Amino acid sequence: MKLFTVQQMVAAEKAADAQGITYDQMMETAGRSLAEAMASRYEVVGKRVLILVGPGNNGGDGLVAGRYLAEAGAEVAFYLYKERDPAQDHNMAQVLDLPWQVMADDPDFAWLTAELETADFLIDGLLGTGVTRPIEGRMADLLRHISDLTGFTQSDLTGFEQSSIANLSGLGLPPTIVAVDCPSGLNCDTGALDPLALLADLTVTFAGPKWGHFLFPGAGACGQLAVADIGIPADLPAVANVQTEVATEDRVRALLPARPLDGHKGTFGKVLVVAGSDRYWGAPFLSGLGALRAGSGLVALCVPQMIRATIAGQLPEATFVPVADDKLLGAETAVFLHQTINDYDAILIGPGLAEAAAFVTTFFTNPPPLPPLVIDADGLNQLAALDDWPSLIPSHSILTPHPGEMARLMGLPLAELKDRNRIELAQEQAQAWQQIVILKGAYTVVAAPDGRCTVIPFANPALGTAGSGDVLAGVLVSLLGQGADRYAAAGTERAEVAVLGCYLHALAGSLTGHDSGVLAREIADELPAARQRLT
């Protein structure tokens, strides 16, 4: 599923039109798809649907959707922001030929107010994906009036769960809001959201999602996101050459490593987790648990002596590297690992690895050939302190920064990084560093050195819990180890492991069934079920 910028979407539509799939055809398909998306989720027969028709193509999609909803048994009314010339607009002409309510002259919003009092659904077809400027003038007055009557706008989003706003129609409460392509006022490139934007319960977008659907704050105004095919061929260069995409279940399923019936523990990889300190005992346990739950045959932990016995008691399935360091891993352990590195199919360095500058510096100074590598948490922080750190690590290693760690790797203040576009940022740094970058957060971004970039379609507060990232790191190293032969020789394919690992981890979080109070170990325990769901 391609993820488009506005310019890329315009180019794709233009290319499709040149191939004989006309703009009129695409609009007809878009409107029909919107009506079908509503009918598949809600009861529309006998329900009152008010459609806000803007002056552009977005409004045209709304006109088409209204026809199909009426055919499905809904009672439809159209509210035109501006007059549309039926001589030049055949969708407008078709509406006028039928006995449906159409209002274009309502200076004091009296007709609109009466309709909103009885509407079960409000379709927002006012402004489309090209909006970049603040909403002003009569459009602002219109949206402000609707917001006053329906009760929710972007300014109300703080403190509300989007799910608690949804499905309020039929109870004498505000209508269910359905956005055509995007909520009016969403910048579909940046995710910026106008304060007057209406919060949608459902957004139906066309051909593919846009960047702004996955960038906050705008992403929080879209509700459930549905993507409708409008007939643009996937093999058109304007589509095929788009390097950003959204991970889908079908795509991720194809990436799962095989589990042959005659497999044994050696078949499923031996991985090493280098982690922990006298301050952080839980991180290596959670990473080891994540690796085992994700399917590793053998997991070895390299941890300081002080915490080894405690972790062994919690995770008896793991083995432990005999190291001399008591509280913190140091240079001596790094030298020892250089001598035994060929024993492992993949390595994770970093969770809970506090004050380990000597270890990190020594490990990445003239190392032997390394197996596929994941660097996480304190491994990233220690690395960021070294001069020209990207030159010290093998290309196509997997880096897993959250925004704070990303800022340290880039040498930027966190406030400055937060102002950047997450998708662009991950793409740019993956190419600059020649590494696979997982920029964690709501809608995690996975970027590869060749410019490919995948958004993981989960924004789940359950994942925002201490140790969740340690579990993810364990999942990633596990998957690298399970595909050791494939990934050792083809570094570019490790980006697929990153996508699969992030998706499995997020899906496991969803399978806990909660959005709060979830423990990191519970996310790990759901990993087998997440994999089973995919297969």
pTM as predicted: 0.93
pLDDT at 417 exceeding the cut of 70? yes
Residue 224 CB neighbours (<10 A): 15
Tokens 């490790």 — which residue? 494
Percent of the chain past pLDDT 70, that is, above it, reads 93
CA distance 271 to 462: 27
Rounded Cα–Cα distance for residues 310 and 407 (Å):
34
Instruction: Dump pLDDT digits (tens) for 275-299.
Output: 999 999 999 999 999 999 999 999 9
Distances (CA, A) of 203 to 133, 157, 257, 509: 21, 16, 34, 24
For the chain, the average pLDDT equals: 93
Domain boundaries, the chain: 6-242, 259-443+455-495
Span 338-358, average pLDDT: 96
Please give the span between the terminal C-alpha atoms of the chain, in angstroms, as a whole number. Answer: 20
Q: What is the CATH number of domain 259-443+455-495?
A: 3.40.1190.20
What CATH class has 6-242? alpha beta
∠ CA 434-438-443, rounded to 5°: 140
Using the 8-state DSSP alphabet, how is residue 153 labeled? B
Q: What is the dihedral of CA 491, 8, 432, 245, to 10 degrees?
A: -40
Give residue-wise pLDDT tens across range 80-114: 999 888 989 999 988 887 656 778 788 899 999 99
Q: Per residue in 379-406, pLDDT tens?
A: 999 999 999 999 999 999 999 999 999 9
Each residue's pLDDT tens digit, 13-35:
999 999 999 999 999 999 999 99
